[in-house]
């Protein structure tokens, strides 16, 4: 009896939707895409343009600009922050708060409760029809880890905006400075972690995240301002989808490969330039996402990380755990193996060795080994 009643209800609904499609074809198409978790192929994301002269700009600030640009053309984007919206840059300026009496608002005030935010995002995603996102400081991702794990387990296309991503947070000290968190998130199967190097990679990361329909995506963003890389000199940021790509290459076969993510890419480029001036053949690779890189055919991975070039250095303001797969025993890392401290962000970066000169010294040691 229940089955027959269900068939009747389903049939009636399908007839109504067919009539709706005839009367409102454009809206019906948008509804279908929304419920399928896809975007119309003709949709213009209208991403902002970032030029080197516009910088420097923190990737969290660039993320906010990209989010607001996309929100104009993607009405299904809805989200907020765990009481850190001004810092996370997660507010859709053209909208208002989702609350009693204004259910068409697109900004959700989740409150200081990251785990609840993660659960709400999962529920929204499970319902379908909406692309949810939620933000907090990266160091607080631990409070919502079980929610993130469930999103990955269920392959829900939730977007996480994790800002203030390293010891460069500064004076707030080690309680607010993530060290182990990127490595911890990478350990979750099915979660795509992206740590963009500049505003241009950030825009591409958002493009990938909103089009993605197979598991959650975590955007790892800086507090501090970063230069916008001149893509007339370096490879285009649209290669971010590969997970890693050759950003700057040597004139001949490289002797050493420098691999970096996020805020450390710019200083790694500086190191590469200094080494080149010293006569070394250097390749600099931007690797915003391990997960995306591992999805490539082995041929592409070998093109980027040449198997016979064993002198490699990985540069990331976080734990070195996991980087062994890319630098192996013959390589080295410029990473962190302890908690941070309370001091200006730039002072801490220099103290912990995140300078082009330190990278150069490590590279010379490898090349002279």
User: Using alpha carbons only, what angle is made at residue 137 by residues 131 and 139, rounded to the nearest 5 degrees?
Assistant: 120
Pick from 239, 154, 223: nearest CA to 188: 154
Report, as residue numbers or ranges, the catalytic residues.
Answer: 114
In angstroms, rounded to a whole number, what is the distance separating the alpha carbons of residues 255 and 333? Answer: 17
In angstroms, rounded to a whole number, what is the distance separating the alpha carbons of residues 197 and 87? Answer: 19
- The alpha helices in the chain, defined as continuous H runs, are 2-23, 25-36, 59-71, 85-88, 114-127, 145-153, 181-186, 199-211, 265-277, 290-294, 298-304, 324-327, 345-351, 356-367
| Strand residues in 165-244 grouped as ranges (E) | 192-194, 217-220, 225-226
> Judging by beta carbons within 10 Å of its beta carbon (0-12, 13-18, 19+), is residue 117 exposed, middle or buried?
buried
């Amino acid at each position: 009896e229940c089955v027959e009643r269900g068939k009747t209800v389903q049939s009636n609904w399908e007839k109504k939707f067919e009539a709706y499609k005839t009367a409102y074809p454009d809206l019906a198409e948008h509804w279908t895409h929304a419920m399928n978790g896809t975007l119309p192929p003709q949709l213009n994301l209208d991403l902002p343009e970032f030029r080197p002269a516009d910088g420097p700009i923190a990737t969290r600030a660039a993320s906010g600009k990209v989010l607001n640009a996309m929100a104009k053309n993607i009405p299904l984007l809805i989200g907020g922050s765990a009481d850190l919206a001004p810092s996370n840059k997660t507010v859709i300026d053209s909208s208002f708060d989702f609350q009693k009496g204004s259910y068409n608002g697109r900004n959700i005030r989740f409150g200081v409760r990251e785990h609840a935010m993660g659960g709400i995002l999962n529920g929204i995603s499970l319902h379908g029809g909406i692309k949810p996102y939620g933000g907090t400081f990266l160091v607080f991702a631990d409070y919502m880890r079980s929610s993130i794990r469930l999103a990955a387990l269920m392959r829900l296309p939730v977007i996480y905006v994790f800002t203030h991503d390293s010891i460069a947070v500064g004076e707030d000290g080690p309680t607010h400075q993530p060290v182990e968190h990127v490595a911890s998130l990478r350990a979750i199967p099915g979660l795509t972690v992206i740590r963009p190097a500049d505003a241009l990679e950030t825009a591409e990361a958002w493009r990938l995240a909103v089009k993605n329909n197979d598991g959650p995506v975590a955007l790892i963003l800086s507090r501090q301002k970063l230069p916008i890389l001149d893509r007339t000199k370096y490879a285009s940021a649209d290669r971010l989808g590969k997970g890693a790509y050759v950003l700057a290459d040597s004139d001949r076969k490289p002797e050493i490969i420098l691999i970096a993510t996020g805020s450390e890419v710019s200083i790694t480029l500086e190191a590469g330039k200094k080494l080149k001036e010293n006569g070394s053949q250097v390749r600099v690779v931007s690797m915003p996402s391990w997960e995306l890189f591992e999805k490539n055919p082995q041929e592409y991975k070998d093109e980027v990380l040449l198997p016979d070039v064993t002198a490699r250095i990985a540069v990331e303001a976080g734990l070195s755990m996991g980087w062994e797969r890319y630098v192996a025993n013959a390589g080295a890392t410029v990473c962190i193996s302890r908690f941070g401290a309370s001091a200006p962000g730039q002072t801490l970066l220099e103290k912990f060795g995140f300078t082009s000169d330190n990278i150069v010294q490590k590279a010379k040691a490898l090349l002279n080994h």
